Structure 1
């Protein structure tokens, strides 16, 4: 009986000790993270020199170890004090276009009860890691820094988290504290305005009538004699009175305006990155014209269908599109047409100058039979021209400003 109680007590004590040891280890490990590579090297030198020097009586080696200990110990006060800040990133706009200025402001306010020491503040912007030297801040005192983000390339950049960095003069210890959550800056592609009223190929987006006749639609077509079962709401009473025969109005069915854009994201289809950027800008220009006209838009790439919920999400999605080598050409992206947009009324294929014409032809054969298909090739190093490939008409575009004229040309 006594032995069992002692065993239970020992097990309880061991469990309690284990909890304490784990908590201590968590604290120690968190504190040890402030050491840099140089700091760990100094610790290793100190331990080795003191052990070996003491074992063999080498005073010089023991002195070296003691010196390393003093260097690490003298670095502790520089990282021991943890500053307390309120930090915010203020952007003039979270969405800009290529070439526009993206300006922001970093605001740091002292939030502790005592003055925070001078420190370095790091603000990651994409792959860049700019740093600002911040002075001592009294409680309630603010420090701000204006910054500009380059927008020469379409991208989705992550800003932050803002971190404060404290280190000693030698660089043995370093303490970093994150103060904000990451924020996104969308750099949209350049676009040009395409007037759907005057640009030939986009006229279809207004809803063209088909050759299919119906008894109820928006486009009046002709009159015919009444047949049993016809809806009397469509009786044309003026013609009925004149001919003494019951006449029914007949209509042409109109198609729902649906623009499908197929963009090749195969890097092998483009001569360089500038051609791919031109292709993305082409998609953005055509897609925005459709969305602003209240039309249905679907965009297909090698990675699938873009999630579109309006102009903003459309341009955000284009900001993150990347080209990767696959060797499959635009034909692979067109495989999903039958499931993504079987009722499309216009299909625009967008690819680069390095893409095989056979792939472009194969992609066009997957378009719906009732749809009108055209293609635009981004050709930065060739002259703009209108070309015909079987029953597919396509245009080479060297500059984005040539796109409206190119779409007008392929509609002729």
Structure 2
């Protein structure tokens, strides 16, 4: 009765039956599972070291010997035993483990696109005998770097340097370092991993944008606004007292001279809040070159603002999931507490057809981020003037909107379109001059 209601493996095999026969059936199933598990582990290990050519040689052994001895064909017998000899040589080549102790180092965990980056492997022979020469393999991104390691005397250490390509922005996985052992014919190949893998973050290129290029910004650290108020820190002028004015701001000397109450008037100041919005939508870019330039522009603006200690938000398009029922209207904020963290995040962004285009980014930013004083909208050549006007219309009238169009094929310039400045640049170095012109116009 204790077996009633059981849903384990035994119940599924023999139900509630007991006795010698039921126990025998269960024992056979358990033994078969154990043998199958061991066979699967052995097969996995063999498949990891035996090459396709090695499998052919292993298949030849029973086939050639069986046919040769069955029909008396000496050629097949010779082929079978030759295959046995090759298999034995391959097995011997896999025996043992080199007495190495290795470490993988990256002098710098961050690099910039196009700049030289290197890694180093330190190998120590921990035994008292000399080791044979070996080949080190270091996976780098989608490729493999091969390094020749000569024989090492006991207790000696050798360091091998290698270059890491940084032609593209992104995160490059380096390592783990492994050695490869095998036979001369390539029947077997045994890979031993000696270190953990590391990551190298390749930042986009940036240029130093002077703080004066943000002359569009008016705050406590810069110039006051043209808006007048009755209470602030930047004195503007005197005017006659009106009902409701704070009596603490009455200017008594002027009142005594004119015989009329005069109060101080101030220019309103406010702490700037910059927003840098980068579109990731392929709708806004005609080429990959435009997109990479836009990423560099966003990084240059964001890094300058962070180093100046300004309140800044750098946002990129949110992606709509592949099987979503409707478009996702949102932006993804990037880290801005340190310049390096901002560039780390920019190193991983990619253009996508499902990303939110600039016209929708502007709407989300204007609705969700309060207190914006300057909004930089970074896009490519496929964003039309009509779309830029629609983007500017999303923001309040007191927000300075600057669109930066990245187009290597266009002539750099500055133009004013219905409430926003449009800067067109073809190279990253033109950003500094373009912003200076925009600040002068503002």
Whether these two folds match at TM > 0.5 is yes
Which of 297, 300, 305 aligns to 2:332? It is 305
* Per-residue deviation, residues 100-134 of structure 1 (Å, max 9, x unmatched): 32133221112357654432111122122110121
Cα 1:83/1:249, change in 2 over 3 Å? farther
Q: Which of 294, 317, 320 is the matching residue for 2:345?
A: 317
Aligned CA RMSD, in angstroms, stands at 3.5
Give the aligned partner of residue 326 of structure 2: none
TM-score for both structures, normalised by structure 1: 0.84
Counterparts of 2:405 and 2:382, CA distance in 1: 9
Aligned to 1:125: 140
User: Partners in 1 of 2:419 and 2:264 — Cα distance?
Assistant: 36
* Correspondence 1:252-331 to 2 at 5 A: 253-303=268-318, 304-308=331-335, 309-326=337-354, 329-331=357-359
Structure 2 length-normalised TM: 0.79
Q: 1:349 Cα shift? A: 1.0
Deviates more, 1:398-407 or 1:195-204: 195-204
Matched residue, 1:391: 419
- Quick one: which of 56, 64, 67 aligns to 2:82? 67
- Describe the shift of the 1:19–1:359 C-alpha distance in structure 2 as closer, same or farther (beyond 3 A): same
Task: Report how far residue 314 of structure 1 moved.
Answer: 0.6
**Other-structure match for 1:175:** 190
Please name the residue that 1:28 is paired with. Answer: 42
Structure 2 residue aligned with 1:364: 392
Q: What's 2:150 paired with?
A: 135
Change in CA separation of 1:214 and 1:139 when aligned onto 2, cut-off 3 Å: farther
Q: Confirm or deny: 8 A CA contact 2:104 2:120 kept in the other structure.
A: yes
Write the deviation string for residues 187-219 of structure 1: whole angstroms up to 9, x where unpaired: 22222222223553355684754737365x544
Q: Aligned residue for 2:106?
A: 91
- Relative to structure 1, the CA distance from residue 22 to residue 237 in structure 2 (aligned partners, 3 Å threshold; closer, same or farther) is farther
C-alpha distance 264-141 of structure 1, shift in aligned 2 (>3 A): same
Whole-angstrom CA distance in 2 between matches of 1:339 and 1:131: 53
Specify whether residues 220 and 138 from structure 1 end up closer, same or farther in structure 2 by C-alpha distance, changes over 3 A only: same
Q: 2:207 aligns with which of 173, 181, 192?
A: 192
The one of 339, 342, 348 equivalent to 2:370 is: 342
In structure 2, how many angstroms separate the alpha carbons of the residues matched to 1:298 and 1:277?
20
Please give the alpha-carbon distance, in whole angstroms, between the structure 1 residues aligned to 2:189 and 2:91.
9
Q: Matches of 1:360 and 1:45 in 2, distance apart?
A: 71
Distance in 2 of aligned mates of 1:85 and 1:30: 26
Classify 1:10/1:192 alpha carbon distance in 2 versus 1 (closer, same or farther; 3 Å).
Answer: same
Q: In 2, distance between residues paired with 1:19 and 1:115? A: 45
Provide the rounded CA distance (Å) in 1 between the counterparts of 2:186 and 2:23.
Answer: 48
Question: Shift in Å at residue 387 of structure 1?
Answer: 2.1
Stretches of structure 1 lacking an aligned partner (at least 5 in a row) = none
For the Cα contact (< 8 Å) 1:351–1:378, is it kept in 2? yes
Deviates further, 289-298 or 94-103: 94-103
1:140-219 superposed matches below 5 A? 140-197=155-212, 199-202=214-217, 206=222, 208-209=224-225, 211=227, 213=229, 215=231, 217-219=232-234
For residue 47 of structure 1, the aligned residue among 55, 58, 62 is 62
Structure 2 residue ranges without an equivalent (≥5): 1-16, 319-330
Q: Distance in 1 between matches of 2:363 and 2:68?
A: 74
Residues of 2 paired with 1:55 and 1:112: CA distance?
51
Contact 1:201–1:408 (CA under 8 A) maintained in structure 2: no
- Distance, in Å, in 2 between the alignment partners of 1:86 and 1:242 is 89
Give the conservation status (yes or no) of the 8 Å contact 2:234–2:269: yes
1:22 CA drift (Å):
6.5
Tell me what 1:378 maps to: 406
Shift in Å at residue 320 of structure 1? 1.8
Alpha-carbon distance between aligned partners in 2 of 1:174 and 1:409, rounded to the nearest angstrom: 63
SS of the residue aligned with 1:122? Answer: strand
Whether the 8 Å contact between 1:298 and 1:305 is mirrored in structure 2 is: no
Mean Cα deviation higher: 187-196 or 236-245? 236-245
* Inter-partner Cα distance in structure 2 for 1:240 and 1:111: 90
